[in-house]
Every structure is written in C-alpha cells, then in structure tokens.
Structure 1
Amino acid sequence: MAHYVVTAVRINDDDEIELFMWAKANPAVSRGRYLENPHIASMEDIIAAIRDGDVVEMTFESGIGTVSGGKLLEGHLPSGEVTVTEERASPGRMIDDLPRF
C-alpha cells in the first residue's frame, strides 16, 4: 500500500476538478517527506490509487507546519459519475481550500 500526499488542485471555471498535484510520501517520517518529486495526477489516477487500497491524503501549510486535511475517498455524483470527496470535510481543509496551480 502506497501513501500519496495531495498538495494542490486545478479547478476549472465550472468548479470541476481537473487535476491534482501529488507525490508518494513516507508517512512514518514526517508529512512533506516525499519519495518522489510532486507531479500532476488526473482524477482517474487518484481514483485508481484509492481503489488499489493506497492512502491519498491532502496536506495544508499552516502556522504550525504541514497539517493533514484527511484522506480523499471515492465519491459518486447524482449523475453516477465517479469523483473524489473529503474524508473529514472540515472548513479550511477541503479540496476547494487546496492551493491552485
């Protein structure tokens, strides 16, 4: 099981997620300790990782350092389309709150 850290998102003018910025990380060391350079991931990449049992976690920079925003989970829209959603969905730590690229 791999552990990925999502640090940024690209959202289009229709408020749809287009891409994520992520990297494989070692959660045993510390947040932000990447095992590879951060790179672009599609929605399909994120969903495939979740389905494979990998952990996909959002992180945010704060006054106390890097903090977790919780895991991303597979979700389903009313149309039946597959998407991702936040495990915790707490204010300030949601997909919409990630930095944009």
Structure 2
Amino acid sequence: MTLYSVNAVRISEHGEIQALKGIETNGFTRGSIGSQREFSVPEVLDSIAHGDKFDLAFITDTGSTGSGGLVVPDGNGSVRAERGGPGREVTDLPKF
C-alpha cells in the first residue's frame, strides 16, 4: 500500500474532477518520497482498488498541513473526500 498526499485538483469547466496532483509519502510521518506528480481520476480509482490511499492535504492558517480525509470513489466514476466538510472537500484544494 502506498499513501499519497494530494495537494491540488484540476476541475473541468463543467465542475468535474479531472485530475489530482500529489506526492508519495512514507506513510508514517507523511514525509515526502519522490516528486510530485499528476494522477488522472481513472489512475486514482485503479490505485485505490489495489490498496493505495490518497489523503487530502490542506495548508492551515498556522502553516501546518491538515487532512481533509481520504479520497474515495464516489460511485459515479469520480472521487470525493471521505470526511470532507466545509473547506475540506476535493474541490477546495488549490487548482492547477
């Protein structure tokens, strides 16, 4: 299992999530491993099906990283935040 820290999203003009941007972490301290990369939604769904996890990473007012929960399939061929909440949804991430 691999844990990715997701820090940006690409959204279509119709409001659909097209891709996520993130980096592989060590899974314990969430320290970064490797380089940031882009993931298409089908790649994310396939990785989740194979046991990988994608955690939403939001920069808080204090400059630390806060979690918005895990990215999970939405049942309609896209993804959503497991916990989410105000300001902590996939669509609240910075855009790229």
Q: TM-score, normalised by structure 1?
A: 0.87
Secondary structure in 1 matching 2:78: strand
Q: 5+ residue gaps in structure 1?
A: none
TM-score, normalised to structure 2, is 0.92
Q: Which residue of 1 aligns with 2:16?
A: 16
How big is the shift at 1:89?
2.0
What are the equivalent positions in structure 2 for 1:11-90 lying under 5 Å apart? 11-29=11-29, 31=30, 33-64=31-62, 65-77=64-76, 82-90=77-85
Which residue number in structure 2 is paired with residue 94 of structure 1? Answer: 89
In structure 2, the gaps of 5 or more residues are none
- Structure with larger Rg: 1
In structure 2, how many angstroms separate the alpha carbons of the residues matched to 1:40 and 1:91?
A: 25
Assess if the C-alpha contact under 8 Å between 1:49 and 1:56 holds in 2.
no
Structure 1 runs of 4+ aligned residues shifted over 6 Å read none
What one-letter code is carried by the residue in structure 2 that aligns with 1:71? L
Percent of residue pairs identical: 32
- Deviation, structure 1 residue 27: 2.8
CA-based RMSD? 1.1
Matched pairs, number: 95
